Structure 1
């Protein structure tokens, strides 16, 4: 697969990019080089190779999925200027 100068100019028009003739030819050469490199991947023998989900095979530790309050109420309320019965105490703002 390859692209020509007209295709590059059309893509540039769609992307609202302006190229002069020399730049369009350079970009055409670069795009063709990228596409040729991509075709090299088709030549790789991948028979019997499992697809990778991640390049790093790591097993993450799991914890029990239980709902808790975090046991940090006292620590959190220690930062509050005023508390009452385990809650933040704030000034009344609605009459």
Structure 2
């Protein structure tokens, strides 16, 4: 009986540890993706609108929404002026 209980507890602990590990891995992937997008935006702003890079990046650092960061990154490619980027930040 003791062995059965120990195996059941061990299995449950193993599932919990894997769940926690998966959660931490996912959080790390999300943080990495956000950081990569921020770097891409910074590069794009530096190359295309260098005079507005600091004002945009100060706002970008507060954004954790991946889909919004992707929109901003993509908008830099086609933007004719910085107002198109600023509109996404409001």
**TM more than 0.5:** no
Task: Please state which structure has a larger fraction of its residues in helix.
Answer: 2
**Structure with greater strand share of residues:** 1
Computing the radius of gyration from Cα coordinates, the structure with the larger value is 1
